[in-house]
Chains A and B, each alone.
Chain A
Amino acid sequence: MSAHRQPWFNAVGLARHCVLIGTSAIMVLPFVWMVSLSLKPPHEIFSSAWRLWPSTFYAVENYRAALSAVPLVRYLANGVFVCTAIFVLQILINLPCAYALAKLRFRARDTLFAAVLVGLLIPPQVLAIPLFVLFYAVGIVDTYAALILPWTISVFGIFLMRQFFRTIPDELIHAARLDGLSEFAIVWRVMLPVARPALVAFGIFSVVAHWNDLFWPLIVVQSEQIATPPLGALHFANDEAGSNYGPLMAGTVLITLPLILVFLAAQRRFVDGITMTGMK
C-alpha cells in the first residue's frame, strides 16, 4: 500500500488498531476471564464488581482443589501419550504409502489414489458406530488401543505427503539406488528427512485435532485412567457442577494451558501448518 498521503496515514492506521484491538480483546476475553476467575475466592466471583485481578489472592486454594478433585495431570499425560502414539504410527503407516503413490510405478496406483481422494470426503464421526461395534467385539473398548487405532490410517496425511513428495526430483531417488540403497532404505533414510516440512505441518494438524477431540473418546472411554484432556474437562465440569467456579476455572486453565503454551512458542509453525494443510 502506498503511504504517500501523510495526513491519512495515521488516521487509518489508528482506526485499524482500534478495530483490531477490539476484536482481539473479544477473542482473548474468555481466556483472561478464565484465569481471572481461577484466582478469585468465591465471594468475589459472585460479587458484581468488575475486577480482573482479585483483591484476595485465592489461587492456591482453587488450584489445589482442582488438582485433588480429578487427576488432571493424568489427563494431560494421557493426551501426550495418545497424540504422540497416533502421530508416530501415522508416519510409519502413511509415509511409505505416500511415497509409493508419488514416485513408484505400480499397477493399482491410480485406483489407490482415487480411493484416498474418496476417503478424504468421509468425516470421522461417520465411523464411530461401526468402529465401536468392532472394538467391542474384539474386546479393546476402553483401552489406549481404542483411542489410538482408528487414527493410525490418515488419508489426509497420505494426500498431503504425496503432494509433497511429487515436488522432490526423481534424480535423488536414482542417485540413492545407484549408491546401493534398498527401496526401504530410500523411504526411511532419504525420504523421511527430506519430508520434514510436510511432516511438521501434518504433525501439528494431527496433534491439535486429536488432543481436542471429544466425540470419539466420549464413546470409547469409560474409565478415568485413560481419559484425554477434553474428556477430563467434561468429567471435571460435571463434578464441579453447581457453584464451585473457582476450582472449575482453575481446572480448565490447567487443561488448556499446555497446548496454548506450545502454540505461543511456535506460533508461526502452527499457523503455517494449519494453512498449508488446509490449502492442500
Chain B
Amino acid sequence: MAETALLPARWPALPAQFPARPYRVAASESRHAVALVAPAVGLMLVLLFGPTAAALVISCTDWEFGAAAVRFVGLANFRALAADPVFWKALGNTLTYVVVVVPACVAGGLVLALLIESRQRFRAFYRTAHFLPVMSTLVAMAVVWQTLLHPTIGLLNQVLHVIGLDGRNWLREEGTALFALALIGIWQNLGYATVLFMAGLKSIPRDLYHAADIDGADSALDRLRTVTLPLLGPVTMFVLVMMAVRAFQLFETVHVLTKGGPNKASEVLLHLIYVESFEFLRTGRGAALTVIYLAIVVGITMLQTRLVERRVHYA
C-alpha cells in the first residue's frame, strides 16, 4: 500500500437517523416488489387474461359485431361449427399443411444443420443464406412467390417446361393451392429449424465425440447414432413444437395469395377466424373458432412439456 498520509479517518458525520417508520428488510422488499410488478400485472389482466376470458365468453353468445342485442347461447356456436363443412375443411387443410411442413422442416433442418456444422468453411455464409427467409416480411415475399408460381412468367413453370413437364396454375387450382402454400411455408421456416439445430449441435460437448472415437464408434454414421442424435433429443422436441405452432399460425400467405380459395381448398383455421370475425362480423362464431384454435395450440405445447419431462436423460 502507498505510504501517503491517509485522509482523516472519518468524514463529517451523517445526520442522526430517526426515521419516521423503522426499516424492516422483508417488508421493504415486499413493498417495492409490489410497486415494480403492478404495471405489468395490470396490463396482463387487461390485455392478456381479460381478453382470453372474454373470448371464451363471447364464444358462448350469438353476438354479431355492431348488433345491439346479445344472447347467451351456450355451446350453440360450437355445434354449428361441428355441422359446418367449411370448418372441417379448414381444420383438415390446416392439419394437412402442418403434416407436410413440419416434418419437412424438422428433417430438412437437421440435415442442413449437420451439413453446415460438419466443416468450418463458409459456415456463417450458409447460415445467413438459410436464415434470410425467416427474417423477411412474409407478406412481401408472398407477392414475390406469386410471380415465381405464375402460370406463364413464373420461374417454376419455365423450368418445368424446359424439362418437358407441364406447369400448372399452382395457386389457383384446387388440388395444388394448399401445397403451393406449403412450399412457401417450408421455404420460410426451414432456416429457423436449421439454426436451432445448429445451436443444439454446438452445445454437444466435444469430449463425447472423443470418447466415442476411443470406444470405436468413429465413422460418421456411428457418431451420429451414438452421440449426436440422442443428445439432440430435447432440441428436436423443441424444434418440432416450434414448427408446429408456427405452422398452425398460417395466415399471411393465405390472405395475400388465395384468400382461402379456390373453393376453400386453402382455407385454414386462422384465416377462417379472421373471415368469420372481421368480414362476416359473426363475432360469436369467430370467438368459438378462436377457442378451438387456442385449445389446439395449448395442447401441442403441453404435449411437448410432458414428453420432455419424461425424456430428460442427458444433462
- The reply to whether the CB of B138 lies closer than 8 angstroms to some CB of chain A is yes
Interface of B is mostly: helix
User: Does B286 reach chain A (CB closer than 8 Å)?
Assistant: yes
Q: Does B13 belong to the interface (CB within 8 Å)?
A: no
The answer to whether B48 touches A127 (Cβ under 8 A) is yes
Q: Are A30 and B33 in contact (CB under 8 A)?
A: no
Q: Are A28 and B39 in contact (CB under 8 A)?
A: no
User: Are the CB atoms of B137 and A125 closer together than 8 Å?
Assistant: no
Q: A23-B130, A219-B278 are in contact. Are A126 and B135 (CB under 8 A)?
A: no
Query: Do A127 and B47 touch (CB < 8 A)?
Result: yes
Give 1 or 0 for each of B238-272: 1 = CB within 8 Å of chain A CB: 10001001000101100110000000000000100
- List, in ascending order, chain B residues with CB within 8 A of A214's CB: 138-139, 251-252, 255
A94-149 contacts to B, CB under 8 A, are 94, 96-97, 99-101, 104-109, 112, 115, 119, 121-123, 125-134, 149
- Please tell me which stretch of A53-61, A194-202, A269-277 contacts chain B, meaning at least 4 of its Cβ atoms lie within 8 angstroms of it: A269-277
Query: Do A130 and B147 have beta carbons less than 8 Å apart?
Result: no
User: Taking the complex as formed, is A260 at the interface, i.e. its CB lies under 8 A from any CB of chain B?
Assistant: yes
A27-B187, A125-B270, A153-B44 are known; give 4 further A-B pairs, CB within 8 A: A31-B132, A115-B49, A129-B273, A230-B252
Does A226 reach chain B (CB closer than 8 Å)? no
* Interchain CB contact under 8 A, A184 and B249: no
Residues of A within 8 A of B96 (CB): none
Residue numbers in B under 8 Å from A2 (CB-CB): 213, 218
Interface membership of chain B positions 99-133, coded 1 if the CB is closer than 8 angstroms to chain A and 0 otherwise: 00000000000001001101101101111111111
| A126 in complex: contacting residue of B30, B121, B148, B294, CB < 8 Å | B294
Residues of chain B with a CB closer than 8 A to A48's CB: 158
Within the complex, the shortest CB–CB distance from B43 to chain A, in Å, comes to 4
Task: Give bound CA distance, A278 to B134, whole Å.
Answer: 14
A123 close to B274 (CB less than 8 A)? no
**Docked pose: A218 CA to B49 CA in angstroms:** 22
Taking a contact as CB atoms under 8 Å apart, the answer to whether B137 and A126 are in contact is no
Tell me if A96 and B37 are in contact (CB < 8 A): yes
Inter-subunit contact A122/B290 (CB<8 Å): no
**B301 on the interface (CB 8 Å rule)?**
yes
Chain A min CB distance to B279 (Å): 11
Chain A residue at smallest Cβ distance from B59:
A129
| Nearest B residue to A220, CB-CB | B278
**B118-A256 in contact (CB<8A):** no
Given contacts A30-B141, A130-B51, A153-B43, contact A97 B293 (CB under 8 A): no
Query: Bound complex: CA of A23 vs CA of B195, how far in Å?
Result: 14
**27 residue pairs bridging A and B, Cβ less than 8 Å apart:** A13-B121, A19-B115, A27-B187, A29-B155, A30-B145, A33-B155, A34-B141, A96-B39, A97-B37, A106-B29, A106-B33, A112-B37, A125-B273, A126-B55, A126-B290, A126-B293, A130-B287, A153-B43, A231-B139, A237-B143, A252-B141, A255-B137, A260-B132, A267-B127, A267-B131, A274-B134, A274-B192
| Distance in Å: Cβ of A232 to nearest Cβ of chain B | 9
Q: Which B residue sits closest to A34, measured CB to CB?
A: B144
A279 contacts across to B, CB distance below 8 A: 196, 199, 238
Whether, in the assembled complex, B1 has its beta carbon less than 8 Å from a beta carbon of chain A, the answer is no
Chain A minimum-CB-distance residue to B270: A125
Q: Which of B30, B47, B124, B141 contacts A150 (CB under 8 A)? A: B47
Find chain B residues with CB under 8 A from A83 CB. none
